[in-house]
Amino acid sequence: MRFRRAALCLLVAACQPAAAPPSAAPVTSSTSTSPPASSAAPPAAAPAPKAPTAAAPVALPKAPASFGKSRVVSPVAPYAFGLAADDRAVYGASYQGAHGTFWVGRAGGDPNVLAPTEWARDVAVEGGAVYWVVAKGGVHGGGVWTVPAAGGAAKELVASEADATAIAADATHVYWVSHGSVSGPSPMVGPKAQLRRVPKSGGAPENLAAVPTTHRIVLAGDDVYLLVGDHFGMGQVLRVPRAGGAPVELATAGDNPYDMALDDTHVYWIAQGPFETPKPAPCKRPPCPAATVAPLVERGELRRVPRAGGSVEVLEKGLVHATSVAVGGTSVLYSAGGSLIERAKSAGPPASRYPHTASSRFAVHGGEAFVLAGGRLVAFSAP
């Protein structure tokens, strides 16, 4: 993931109003020229819920009890780091301008463009609207955007938001982290970013807390949980009140923290481990070839800590190229060693559930967990 971050400083294209999803052009591969019928009908806009007070606790989405059953939702999936889901569709934010912010009906089909954009970093959906952040880019400088889930004109909520990442939304506000909000000698060391929020209807953004480089934020209860850190040192799991305040450290997160998920009692996360370049094979007769082996992350761990704070448990260790994690009722699903693997929360041997590495975060909703793996959008649920 960190090798991709350098690319996020490219120019971000403006999001132009897109046609409603029924007429949006499908995202296709060279072997697929039109979406199947199940994808032709867009997800209808979710009815707007009654507006709760700003202090109403945020409930976690319904997760599957376990992950033993899988199905391919879309055989054609553009690259996207962030995913989100509601009752009707799965949404992705793609780096690639041709794909933009897209949706796929949960029943299956090809992706369809919801809003054309480039270098989208993460996506959230709440109350019938989709929200996403774009990274730093010369003319527009990044920003926070929204579009109705049923299609329509995209709207920029916050402009010139440098290196915006990790978005989430509740009933009243949109939350994200801006890595250009605080000046300093290095954006990768110390609290050089800001956790921010803005009303969903627009307005002036608020700074909630100064934080280090942030990979993931999750809203739960009255708090924002953050996975922060970088490959120059140890990461942290932090908790910040949704209304703002001083961050509370729940745990040190280890080298290269990558992804995080919550259940009602614990925070789970992946620490990829330190970058290590393998030593080249011995060369006894010059000229010796230059080493071209890429760095490895092969001492990763799956960890958890109580949401209220306490002792850290290491659930799995020695993971190779570990990436994404999702939490169900009784088990955890994570990506490592070229497979998606399930293990019980308490104890028990890991079991491979899908023979591909996750290339996105999970989106959990309605008893299913969605992820991009092997160029496909795949859903996992209980058998």
* Higher-pLDDT residue of 331, 30: 331
**What percent of the chain stands above pLDDT 90?**
59
**36 lies in a domain?**
no
CATH number assigned to the domain comprising residue 113 = 2.120.10.30
pLDDT reading at 16 higher than 50:
no
Q: Which residue has the tokens 């497979």?
A: 339
* Higher-pLDDT residue of 241, 213: 241
* Higher-pLDDT residue of 318, 37: 318
**What percent of the chain stands above pLDDT 70?**
75
pLDDT at residue 346, rounded to an integer: 87
Query: Has this prediction a pTM greater than 0.75?
Result: yes
pLDDT reading at 184 higher than 60:
no
Alpha carbons 80 and 70: distance in angstroms, whole number = 20
Q: What is the mean pLDDT of residues 25-31?
A: 35
pLDDT reading at 28 higher than 80:
no
Domain that holds residue 165: 2-31+58-281+293-381
pLDDT reading at 31 higher than 50:
no
CA atoms within 13 A on the CB side of 201: 2
**40 lies in a domain?**
no
Structure confidence at residue 109 as a pLDDT band (50, 70, 90): very high
pLDDT at residue 370, rounded to an integer: 98
28-37, 156-165, 182-191, 305-314: which is most confident = 305-314
Of residues 21, 212, 217, the one with CA closest to residue 103: 21
**222 lies in a domain?**
yes
pLDDT at residue 72, rounded to an integer: 97
**258 lies in a domain?**
yes
* Higher-pLDDT residue of 7, 88: 88
Q: What is the 3-state secondary structure (H, E, C) of 125-179?
A: EECCEEEEEECCCCCCCCEEEEEECCCCCCEEEEECCCCEEEEEECCCEEEEEEC
Q: What is the mean pLDDT of residues 177-190?
A: 53
**51 lies in a domain?**
no
CB atoms within 10 A of CB 66: 19
Task: Check residue 255 and report its DSSP letter.
Answer: E
pLDDT at residue 308, rounded to an integer: 95
pLDDT at residue 14, rounded to an integer: 36
Q: What is the mean pLDDT of residues 230-258?
A: 88
Structure confidence at residue 180 as a pLDDT band (50, 70, 90): low
pLDDT at residue 1, rounded to an integer: 39
**53 lies in a domain?**
no
The burial of 230, by beta-carbon neighbours within 10 Å (0-12 exposed, 13-18 middle, 19 or more buried), is given as buried
**150 lies in a domain?**
yes
pLDDT at residue 94, rounded to an integer: 83
**344 lies in a domain?**
yes
Q: How many domains does the chain divide into?
A: 1
Strands in 313-319's sheet, in edge-to-edge order, are 257-262, 266-271, 300-306, 313-319
Choose the weakest-confidence range: 133-147, 330-344, 354-368: 133-147
Q: Indicate the average pLDDT of the chain.
A: 81
pLDDT reading at 353 higher than 50:
yes
